[in-house]
Amino acid sequence: MAVVDNAVYVAGRRTPDPASLAETYEAMRERDGMAWIGLYRPSDAEIRSIADELDLHPLAVEDALTGHQRSKLERYGETLFAVLRPARYLDDVEEVEFGEVHLFVGPDFVVAIRHAESPNLAQVRRRLEADPELLAMGPDAVLYAILDEVVDEYGPVIAGLENDIDEIEDQLFETEDSGVSRRIYDLSREVIDFQRATQPLVGMLETMLRGSEQHAVDLELQRLLRDVLDHTLRIVERAGAFRSVLENALQVHATLVAQRQNDEMRRMTEVSLRQGEETKKISSWAAILFTPTLVGSVYGMNFDRMPELHWSFGYPFAVALMFGTGAVLYGIFKKKKWL
């Protein structure tokens, strides 16, 4: 049996521990007390055994057997069935690790089924045992204390997420790391999962407070539940703000990447334009130098019969033609701003 702790409380004080669950059920009825049974990853048979003894609703039992439930609170007759999603933040991998706790809260019993290391229900039990007045309020007080512990453990998760978001905001403008967008996306996914775990708690607590008078919940316990609700609302608001910040960060990063790409394209365009200007200059000077070469090469042929070959002004004419055509070409290229 995966029983972590098993006790019967009378007037807020722990009575001699029963040796087995069977003795717990008997002592609970004989002493007119409250049984608090804590289980850690029990088998299906163990859950069904407790369900048969405490007359738990089949639908609630089926949910407990199936697992992987969303946070919720459901009432089956006089028994409340609650699913809580405790969480802790793994900073080294920037992930939120979720657990799952199933609670059956009846008129004279609490069955807590834990499927992860968190939350520390032993700490909750010690806290309540140190406050008999609160524990004397019965199963509702145990439910409050477990809810309070789960919500308190959300605090470090918020701090871890906030720290990583601050790092991302600095990283956005300090580096051109392409992995930033992936980090933002992954962290956004963790925030969304965290919201799914925390947002239903608001409705759960509000439902409990609305039904507190009908189910004769102590006034002091109602105040404590309102305090947990206030903490939960702040956590939900912070998580919503984190999601907005990450969405904006993703947009800013996309804008910065586009701006860097535009700057690179502009730089490449400027380089291409400079190269084009240099090409124009080189082509212009090549054309200017080509004309004298052409004239010189024609009259450099060793033929006996060529026009103006024996003309006395042939040499000055050839030189003038070379410089003239070069000057004309220079003027044309200069006008076109190639030179």
pLDDT at 193: 92
pLDDT at 94: 83
pLDDT at 302: 62
pTM: 0.75
CA dihedral 201, 97, 87, 49 (to 10 degrees): 80
Handedness of CA 59, 61, 65, 67 (dihedral sign): positive
pLDDT at 147: 94
Tens of pLDDT, residue by residue over 65-105, are 887 778 899 999 889 999 999 999 888 888 899 999 999 99
- CB of 195 within 8 A of CB of 233? no
Tens of pLDDT, residue by residue over 273-289, are 777 777 777 777 777 77
Q: Nearest 5°: phi and psi at 215?
A: -100, 15
Give SS3 for 52: helix
- Could you tell me the strand order of the sheet in which 13-14 lies? 13-14, 3-10, 34-40, 109-114, 101-105, 79-84, 72-76
Tens of pLDDT, residue by residue over 229-251, are 999 999 999 999 999 988 888 88
CA angle 283-284-286, nearest 5°?
65
User: In 3D, which of 146, 143, 43, 153 has the Cα closest to residue 97?
Assistant: 153
Structure tokens at 114: 């834990």
Mean pLDDT of 315-325: 74
Task: Name the band, by pLDDT with cuts 50, 70 and 90, for residue 117.
Answer: confident
User: In 3D, which of 132, 242, 257, 108 has the Cα closest to residue 188?
Assistant: 242
Tell me the domains of the chain and their CATH numbers: 3-259 (3.30.460.20), 275-335 (1.20.58.340)
Distance (Å, whole) CA 126 – CA 156: 22
Predicted confidence (pLDDT) at residue 330 exceeds the cutoff of 80: no
Task: Name the band, by pLDDT with cuts 50, 70 and 90, for residue 298.
Answer: low
Predicted confidence (pLDDT) at residue 258 exceeds the cutoff of 60: yes
Tens of pLDDT, residue by residue over 150-190, are 999 999 999 999 998 888 877 777 666 667 888 888 888 99
Structure tokens at 149: 């512990």
User: What angle do helix axes 179-210 and 219-299 make, rounded to 10 degrees?
Assistant: 160
